Structure 1
Amino acid sequence: MKRIAVLTSGGDSPAMNAAIRAVVRTGIEKGLKVYGVHRGYNGLISGEIFEMDKHSVSDIIQRGGTILRTARSEEFKTPEGRQKALNVIKVLKIDGIIVIGGDGSFHGADLLSDLGVPTIGIPGTIDNDLAYTDYTVGFDTALNTAIDAINKIRDTSSSHERVSVIEVMGRNCGDLAIYSGIAGGAEYVVVPEKPFTVEDICENIFNGKRSGKLHNIIILAEGVGGAQKLARKIEEITSIETRATVLGYIQRGGSPSASDRILASRMGNKAVEVLLEGKSARVIGIKNNKIIDMDIKEALAIPKVFDEELFDLSISLSN
């Protein structure tokens, strides 16, 4: 193996740049030529590939987003699109590819592996929705961003003695909502994995009011959706002023936390090592603080198990 490439695909997440940096610097240290691919799989199809050196990744570890930029590629989902990408890979003599992204990006990496291209995946997504790994790159930073917003909203919520419904990201996975609910001292957490009723939430609000609480924070995962609607319902039932805040894309941006920078660096380093071991169709993860690699098909097949214990803790501490 002499030449490897790295790309970022799908939604961006904090510390993707730290992972890119680790891939480039580890690869160069191992005597490889390392190439960057602009705009994910779209760039692979159109040949937007350039050689990187150590200077290419200077001063990026603290930056959010991805210097390689990212995109979603409908064309790559077709056999014709993948063949175009394969042609580019062959012409440029790329011996292996490292893909940083979420489950959709991993499916793309798996398809590349099926075409005979050694491919390794690094989990970069704020949703923490890949079951094979304890944490994904970007989750911790997004969590801290949510906590910062919750703290600020609580201040004004207390001043006005109102209820605040705060919607965090998490399409099909409630991890961000649960973690931010516990760390942010929320009165209720609403996640896609658990049924809820507005009446249950209102009961919690009334209980809090009787015990002297000046505010109520409700954390809602985007997979459940409807923060404005839920706020209206709560105000209708309780007659307490209720406001909704959708945090949205601020959770994806910003300087990554120290934890995410270290995790991304460890995973980027491991990805290069796994390629040099001659492996393909693998994904990098972390289990019990150990960096691991696993077959990509096996990893994607593992169902995400909802953490009932953590959810129960969020309910218990809200009372």
Structure 2
Amino acid sequence: MKKIAVLTSGGDSPGMNAAVRAVVRKAIYHDVEVYGIFQGYYGLVHNNIRKLELGDVGDKIQRGGTFLQSARCPEFKEPEVRQKGIENLKALGIEGLVVIGGDGSYRGAQRLNEEGIKTIGIPGTIDNDINGTDFTIGFDTALNTIIESIDKIRDTASSHERTFIIEVMGRDAGDLALWSGLAGGAETVLIPEVKKDIKEIADKIQQGIERGKKHSIIVVAEGVMSGHECGEELKKYINVDTRISVLGHMQRGGSPTGLDRVLASRLGGFAVELLMKDETGLAVGIQKNELTKTTFDDIFVGEHQIDRKMYELSDELSI
């Protein structure tokens, strides 16, 4: 394989630039030309593609976001639209493609692979909701952003004796809420994977107040309900002074942590190795600190599972 391309798709996540850098440098080291596709699948269809050199990925490993940019392209689901992208790749002699993104990005990669473009997926999403890997690129950075926010909010919650409800991202996955809630010492964590009675939460807060507790922190995953909805539900059972903090897109930004930079570098290099071996239709990942590869079909059949024991521990420590 003499020419490959790389794109980032879906929501940006810290570490995407580090992954692109690894793909580019690993490929060039092995005398393989690399092309950057700007604006994701939209750029693929509209031929926003150019060759990348070593200098193009210099000073990128520490930067958040994605310098290749990302854009919505719902029409990519249509075969005739994908064919335009395939023709653009073939016109440049590009034989392989690395797609960095989440579930939706993987589905586009799977279609391209079925239609003749050798494709490898790299999990880039803060949600950590991709099957076949323990961690996705960007999760650790987002987690640390949330923890820092919880620490700061706790200061004012304690000063004013309030209950703070902190809404975090994650779509239908609770990893960000669970990990940040445990690390931040939250009294309650609400995640989509586990149903919890709001009345029980209210009772716990009341019990804490009765024994002299001055404040409470509730971390709620957006896939359960909004922070404001959570506050309204609590008011049905308990009279407490609540404040809502919706962290929003600040969770996506920032310089990637060391863990995300290393993970992105390892996965990017591994993706190039697989393409050079003519292996395709795979998503790379990491499990128990070992690099893994999983077919797209298997990715979509299974579901990323929450760590139930960690959830139980979080509940036990929040008494």
Q: TM-score range by the shorter chain?
A: over 0.9
**What code does the residue aligned with 1:286 have?**
I
- 1:106 paired with 2:102, answer no
Structure 1 equivalent of residue 201 of structure 2: 201
Which secondary structure does the structure 1 equivalent of 2:209 belong to?
helix
Structure 2 equivalent of residue 251 of structure 1: 251
Please list, as runs of the form range in 1=range in 2, the aligned pairs for 1:210-221 lying within 5 A after superposition.
210-221=210-221
Q: Distance in 2 between matches of 1:211 and 1:136?
A: 41
State the identity as a percent.
Answer: 50
Deviates more, 1:201-210 or 1:150-159: 201-210
Q: Distance in 1 between matches of 2:147 and 2:42?
A: 35
Structure 2 equivalent of residue 154 of structure 1: 154
Please list, as runs of the form range in 1=range in 2, the aligned pairs for 1:135-284 lying within 5 A after superposition.
135-284=135-284
Q: Distance in 1 between matches of 2:210 and 2:181?
A: 21
**What code does the residue aligned with 2:158 have?**
S
Q: Which runs of 4+ in 1 moved over 4 A?
A: none
Q: Which runs of 5+ in 1 are unaligned?
A: none
Deviates more, 1:294-303 or 1:149-158: 294-303
Q: Is the 8 A contact 1:188 1:217 kept in 2?
A: yes
Q: Distance in 2 between matches of 1:306 and 1:151?
A: 24
Q: Distance in 2 between matches of 1:216 and 1:236?
A: 17
Deviates more, 1:284-293 or 1:204-213: 204-213
**What code does the residue aligned with 1:227 have?**
G
**What code does the residue aligned with 2:272 have?**
V
Q: Distance in 2 between matches of 1:228 and 1:303?
A: 29
**What code does the residue aligned with 1:94 have?**
I
Q: Distance in 1 between matches of 2:124 and 2:306?
A: 20
**What code does the residue aligned with 1:300 have?**
F
Which secondary structure does the structure 1 equivalent of 2:64 belong to?
coil
Q: Deviations over 1:226-253 (max 9, x none)?
A: 2112213324532221011111100000
Deviates more, 1:154-163 or 1:304-313: 304-313
Q: Is the 8 A contact 1:235 1:241 kept in 2?
A: no
Q: Distance in 1 between matches of 2:226 and 2:74?
A: 28
What is the number of residues matched between the two proteins?
319
Which secondary structure does the structure 1 equivalent of 2:260 belong to?
helix
Deviates more, 1:97-106 or 1:231-240: 231-240
Q: Distance in 2 between matches of 1:251 and 1:306?
A: 20
Which secondary structure does the structure 2 equivalent of 1:245 belong to?
strand
Q: Distance in 2 between matches of 1:203 and 1:194?
A: 18
Structure 2 equivalent of residue 125 of structure 1: 125
Q: Distance in 1 between matches of 2:50 and 2:278?
A: 24
Q: Deviations over 1:102-133 (max 9, x none)?
A: 01000000000001110000000011001210
Structure 2 equivalent of residue 312 of structure 1: 312
Q: Distance in 1 between matches of 2:162 and 2:299?
A: 44
Q: Distance in 2 between matches of 1:62 and 1:303?
A: 31
Deviates more, 1:4-13 or 1:287-296: 287-296
